[in-house]
Structure 1
């Protein structure tokens, strides 16, 4: 059995809350049974030990690909305004999937136990030189939690 070279630690860096408008999401069919969706980001917050700020309203959105196997592949872009005024671009990709009965509850806006929905992300950041450029040279992984009008993302720096 091969042993890993090194098992990197995860350090909680911050939580992002993205706010979305209420109501139905835009979706359209693609060949092969997939759907493309869109939801604008209307605001949010960033809180944590390594970054605090706000999500700039209407600075982007998420364009998920909903696959026939029930997997949702996220592709989100938006801007953060750090507490010190620094603009930070977020590119967030990931996957979510859950059993059909759990996914139906999510779609209906019902609360679920986050452990019942595999929701993992791998965000990448662009930031100018200065106090937040550590974001541009660090690998991140995270978890998500979906609600009817917002989502939470816990972002961890991979050591």
Structure 2
């Protein structure tokens, strides 16, 4: 499954005098994650002289399913240590958590990304139970550490596309690749 074709020519070629042509990479689906967050977040607040505030959002569980993986998010194995960018609606994401596969292997996930409302959209995340791709830009860079049958995950460049439904964070994870 791909989200883009490896044959699409890069628009960057128009900005170079070189004869060498680049193409747009492809994205290959890895998994769908459904994440359960704690009901209460920990607000550290803004440091003196700044308007940015740390918000710690504990991850309490969830599921991961894809063509090559089936797992759960270990209970209370992590959180998102986000930074709310004062008054902008933008949040920088910094999550870490652990997956346990159905066959007993552990996978460590680090995720850094961005949440920002779409043009003309005013969103207060704490009061919402649903957010769609039509309302927000919510992306993350996934770094995975695994072993055994999941060793293949160590060498991928992962991209997460996020949304929220019924208070569950949904992440479709893709591998960015030049090959299909």
- 2:6 alignment counterpart: none
The reply on whether 1:82 has 2:98 as its aligned counterpart is no
SS at match of 1:102: coil
2:4 alignment counterpart: none
Equivalent position of 2:137 in the other structure: 118
What are the equivalent positions in structure 2 for 1:15-94 lying under 5 Å apart? 15-22=32-39, 24-27=40-43, 28-30=45-47, 31-68=49-86, 69-94=88-113
Match of 1:14 in 2: 31
Task: Extract unaligned runs of 5+ from structure 1.
Answer: none
Q: Which entry has the higher C-alpha Rg, 1 or 2?
A: 2
Instruction: Write out per-residue CA displacement over residues 103-136 of structure 1, whole angstroms, 9 at most, x where no aligned residue.
Output: 12x32124243321100111101112x2101110
Rounded to whole Å, the distance in 2 between the matches of 1:88 and 1:133 is 10
Q: Determine which of 130, 136, 150 is the counterpart of 2:154.
A: 136
- Using the TM superposition, name which of 140-149 and 44-53 deviates more: 140-149
| TM-score (norm: length of structure 1) | 0.89
Partners of 1:40 and 1:126 in 2: CA distance: 20
- Partner of 2:69: helix, strand, or coil? coil
Taking structure 2 as the reference length, the TM-score comes to: 0.79
* Greater strand proportion: 2
- Does structure 1 retain, via aligned residues, the 8 Å contact 2:132–2:164? no
Partners in 2 of 1:52 and 1:102 — Cα distance?
Answer: 36
Q: Distance in 2 between matches of 1:26 and 1:85?
A: 31
Tell me the CA shift for residue 158 of structure 1: 1.1
Distance 2:145 2:68 in 1: 16
Q: Are residues 116 and 20 of structure 1, via their aligned partners in 2, closer, same or farther at CA, if it must alter by over 3 Å? A: same
Consecutive unaligned residues in structure 2, runs of 5 or more: 1-13
Give aligned pairs, total. Answer: 156
- For residues 83 and 108 of structure 1, what CA distance do their matches in structure 2 show? 34
Name the CA shift for 1:77/1:53 in 2 (closer, same or farther; >3 Å): same
Q: CA deviation at 1:49?
A: 1.3
